[in-house]
Chain A
Amino acid sequence: MNGDREAIPVLRTEDLTIAFGGLRAVDGVNLEIEKGLTSVIGPNGAGKTTLFNLLTGLYKPTAGRIFFGALEITSMPVHKIVKLGISRSFQILKIFADMSVFENIRVAVQAQMGHGMEFFVSPSRLSGVTKRAEEILDGIGLAPKARLKAKNLSYGDKRILEIGLSLAGNPQVLLLDEPTCGVGTHERAGVARFIRDLTKKWTILLVEHDMDIVMGISDRIVVMQQGRIIADGAPGEIKNNETVREVYLGR
């Protein structure tokens, strides 16, 4: 580089591309994610979820590279990337439905603390894991519902549990894929505030369709279309960007 002490971006991609047959779902994406809350928006099929799948190692790119800080993570498997500190929540909920809320978080913490391969103790004896799980439950506000089965939570609470599961791994970066999807109008503001609060401790990359929320809580907005980034900047800039308006409102 040019010798300055430039901060290394938290997450960075270089010409990231993935092709399915002839279709390039993500096409030559160069992205640098800094601290704060970055939203990724775009019409359906723009490649946002595919981008998340690539960043977390679920898909292998056809070309390009991915860096987490200074480390290249391009071909790493999901569980390794997660352990390094990139966590994710899904648009379609992926919680452990038949387990209690507490157990959901506990098993996630257990993974992070590396106790998966223990055979001869009862899980309740892992006091470090239990303590941290309780802390996280408190932090996300679900402690009173700890004993409930996850499938019996309200939808909004399930959404929060989903985010809680991604927090349990003590990540540095959170990738949230449409976290307000399906949440009723009266609960939306709460979830949005919750996500904004997370920014205090974690770098957040958010995929979201709700423009009010996006404009309200983002530090930066990246706009994708057909696998490419077509705009990138502060909410104010994006709002007035001609190309973006065409993509969303045009034709």
Chain B
Amino acid sequence: MKRFLRHPFLWMFLFFLIMPYLMPLIKGYTALASEILIYAMFALGFNLLLSYTGLASFGHAAFFGIGAYAMALTQLKWSENLWLGLLMGMVSAGVFSGIVGALICRKRGIYLSLLTLAFSQMFFLVAFRWDEVTGGETGLTGLTRPPLALPGLPAVSLKGPMAFYFFTLAVFMIVMILIWRLVHSPFGSVLQSIKQNEMRAKYVGYNTAFYKWMSFTISGVVSGLAGAMFLLQHGAVFPTYMNWTESGNVVMVTIMGGGLINFFGPILGGGIFVILQNAIGAFTEHWLLILGMIFIAIIMLIPEGILGLLKRTKASA
């Protein structure tokens, strides 16, 4: 029981329970809290690939976008069912990341990064130009949140920001716990061995290409789920969600929080990113400049991220 009380998950859950109430302190609003969790989820899934498998994908925003578009299109053309939409978001992102993953899983290093960039640009262009399906440059807008319906229980409306927040929190906690489980399992240890020395991992008998593929696809599915949730949050999806600059952002954010050395780093990074975006965005429309300079400072001064910095100061104390 004592171990349970000290587990980070418990404290994080408690913090997240009150987080929406803290938003007004930074001139934010409840929906911001949802966005933090969604982006943190995106970054957590991405970190599985970046930090635990050692593969720097510069195209993951594509799968985020595919998840969002899939959710939107499901709602518009097929059914307003919440679960179906989320499922389609994950499945579509999974299918495309599975295909791309299969093509790139025998490569590594910069080749892999450039390949992910090339593929994500292809997806971006399709979203940008295929007006009939994706709405082109103007995207798909005006989507509403379907109610949350579980068998045997009355439907709960998610239209209110608090209701949606707690739904997001539930999804986030489940995803976080699943990724944690994955990372601390034999499968996770194989990913780490690939990151440390892929050749040796092959030579102890692992089909490294397959494991890389799995890691890529799983992180793709999580990205898709995050994208679908983002759509529910904002009610709209635009091709810019899939731009390479968004892909670069998630890499940056994951590292900034300390993702390279700590499981929870991406969550911290995601939170800071969303808050900065909104807090700075409230003061100046040129928040991208401030964000860019923060990125530069972090990369140059504390590449191991914020959690890494805390670890450093704790060690020297």
Interface residues in chain A, defined as those with a beta carbon under 8 Å from any beta carbon in chain B: 56, 77-79, 82-83, 87-88, 90, 94-99, 103, 106-108, 110-112, 115-123, 126, 165-166, 168-169
Contact = CB atoms under 8 A, between A and B. Distances in A.
Interface in B56-104: none
A120 B204 contact: no
Contacts of B192: 96, 99, 107
B203 A119 contact: no
A94 B185 contact: no
Given A79-B208, A96-B197, A99-B196, A166 B186 contact: no
A112 B202 CA distance: 11
Interface residues on B, range: 20 to 34
A10 B131 CA distance: 64
B207 to A, nearest CB: 5
Contacts of A90: 199-200
Contact of A118 (B186, B193, B208, B211): B186
A93 to B, nearest CB: 9
A112 B200 contact: no
Contacts of B188: 123
A110 to B, nearest CB: 6
Secondary structure at the B interface, as helix, strand, loop or mixed, is helix
Secondary structure at the A interface, as helix, strand, loop or mixed, is loop
Interface in B209-253: 211
B211 A116 contact: yes
A106 B197 CA distance: 15
Contacts of B190: 107, 110-111, 116
Contacts of A122: 184-185
B197 A116 contact: no
B184 A82 contact: no
Given A99-B196, A116-B211, A94 B203 contact: yes
B9 interface: no
Which of B184, B186, B193 has the most C-beta atoms of chain A within 10 angstroms of its own C-beta? B186
B149 to A, nearest CB: 29
14 contacts: A90-B199, A96-B192, A99-B196, A112-B205, A115-B186, A116-B187, A118-B186, A118-B187, A119-B182, A121-B186, A122-B184, A123-B185, A165-B203, A169-B205
A112 B190 CA distance: 12
A168 B205 CA distance: 10
A155 B204 CA distance: 21
B189 interface: yes
Given A97-B196, A97-B197, A99-B196, A123 B207 contact: no
A174 to B, nearest CB: 12
Contact of A126 (B186, B196, B208): B186
Contacts of B193: 96, 99, 107
B151 to A, nearest CB: 25
B181 interface: yes
A99 B197 CA distance: 11
Contacts of B186: 110, 115-119, 121, 123, 126
A121 B182 CA distance: 9
Contacts of A119: 181-182, 185-187
B287 interface: no
B204 to A, nearest CB: 4
Nearest to B198: A94
Interface in B164-203: 181-182, 184-190, 192-193, 196-197, 199-203
